[in-house]
């Protein structure tokens, strides 16, 4: 299979590029910065590196027409609540306009299948501890609003142009190489370096943390399914863990870790409180293409520790 990965130099994009190459696919990695791909990967004859800007329609179309991929995995985006608050216009331009450029370039090249990496932020505050894909979508921050906008635009392109736009809603993916200072990465890194870390609040916040390897396996499962019964799926762990749970597990894995957290909701960078979250049901993805996460939260934390030490 020939696959174009937008955001191929980002955290999720790099993991997908590596997995696609490992199973024998031909991959075009498109990003403004491809420096995260190692030299051994750059030498792969099945990998094409295309440096460019997702907001430049001519650039996107040129890459799409040259690659003529069988499918696209669309990871390119400005990610995260705080980033979206810092530059809401930039988020709309990159996430929405950039996605429209991808859809248009696909229409021109004849490519039909695209996986759009969406987010649990499209839901806004969770109305239950575990939610499925039918949960109302009422995002409250520019990032979630941009992702929901792209989901709706994808449905328009499905109706008008026959594009098979599949939305993968994931949540708080972490693993080696995550560039954001966010739980559980900041807790793990502090414990591994022997540095005390106290979070002023957030101990009670329950969040579905997904290990990057599980995200990749879910995305590839969706990519390979010939015909989808739905256009949106959760790719997550299916369970939530509080910040207090994370600290307890990390102390089990790294005895002596000096980690503490105050009560209350989790705050991004200690500033803005996250909306109520919980677990994402993965039953739809399990039934449609056999998605089965391998990492519970304890196993995911242990895998991060092993990779960090290695």
Give, in degrees to the nearest 5, the angle at Cα 84 between 81 and 89. Answer: 160
Per-residue pLDDT tens over the stretch 77-95? 998 777 777 778 999 999 9
Distance CA 72, CA 103 (A): 10
* Dihedral of alpha carbons 33, 310, 246, 254, sign: negative
Average pLDDT of every residue of the chain: 95
Asked whether the predicted pLDDT for residue 282 surpasses 80, the reply is yes
pLDDT of residue 81: 77
Q: Catalytic one among 123, 143, 157, 233?
A: 143
Based on its alpha-carbon atoms, the radius of gyration of the chain, rounded to whole angstroms, reads 19
Active site residue 143: yes
Per-residue pLDDT tens over the stretch 267-277? 887 678 889 99
Q: Which residues contact 204 (CB under 8 A, 6 or more apart)?
A: 242, 243, 244, 263, 264, 265
pLDDT of residue 37: 77
pLDDT of residue 80: 79
Residue 27, strand partner residues: 3, 47
pLDDT of residue 87: 78
Helix ranges restricted to H, the chain: 11-22, 39-42, 57-67, 81-86, 88-91, 98-109, 142-161, 185-193, 212-224, 243-253, 283-289, 297-309
- Cβ atoms < 10 Å from Cβ of 182: 17
- pTM here is 0.96
Sorted by where each starts, the structural domains of the chain and their CATH numbers stand as: 2-173+209-235 (3.40.50.720), 175-208+238-309 (3.90.25.10)
Per-residue pLDDT tens over the stretch 131-145? 999 999 999 999 999
Per-residue pLDDT tens over the stretch 18-62? 999 999 999 999 999 988 776 677 778 999 999 999 999 999 999
């Amino acid at each position: 299979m020939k696959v174009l990965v937008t955001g191929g130099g980002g955290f999720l994009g790099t993991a997908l590029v590596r997995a696609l190459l490992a199973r024998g696919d031909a991959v075009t990695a498109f990003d403004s910065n491809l420096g995260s791909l190692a030299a051994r990967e750059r030498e792969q004859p099945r990998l094409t590196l295309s440096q460019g800007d997702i907001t430049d329609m001519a650039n996107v179309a040129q890459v799409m027409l040259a690659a003529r991929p069988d499918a696209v995995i669309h990871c390119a985006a400005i990610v995260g609540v705080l980033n979206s608050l810092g530059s809401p216009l930039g988020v709309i331009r990159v996430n929405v306009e950039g996605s429209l450029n991808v859809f248009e370039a696909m229409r021109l090249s004849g490519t039909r299948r695209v996986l759009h990496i969406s987010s649990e932020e499209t839901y806004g505050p969770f109305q239950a501890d575990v939610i499925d894909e039918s949960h109302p979508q009422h995002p409250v921050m520019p990032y979630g609003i941009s992702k929901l906008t792209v989901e709706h635009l994808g449905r328009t392109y499905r109706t008008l142009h026959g594009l098979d736009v599949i939305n993968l809603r994931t949540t708080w993916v972490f693993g080696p190489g995550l560039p954001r200072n966010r739980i559980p990465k900041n807790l793990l890194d502090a414990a591994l370096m022997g540095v005390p870390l106290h979070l002023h609040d957030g101990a009670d916040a329950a969040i579905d943390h997904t290990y990057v390897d599980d995200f990749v396996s879910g995305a590839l499962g969706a990519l390979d399914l010939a015909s989808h019964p739905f256009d949106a799926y959760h790719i997550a762990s299916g369970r939530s863990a509080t910040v207090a749970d994370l600290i307890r597990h990390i102390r089990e894995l790294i005895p002596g870790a000096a980690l503490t957290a105050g009560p209350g909701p989790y705050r991004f960078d200690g500033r803005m409180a996250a909306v109520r979250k919980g677990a994402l049901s993965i039953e739809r993805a399990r039934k449609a293409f056999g998605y089965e996460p391998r990492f519970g939260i304890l196993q995911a934390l242990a895998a991060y520790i092993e990779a960090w030490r290695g």
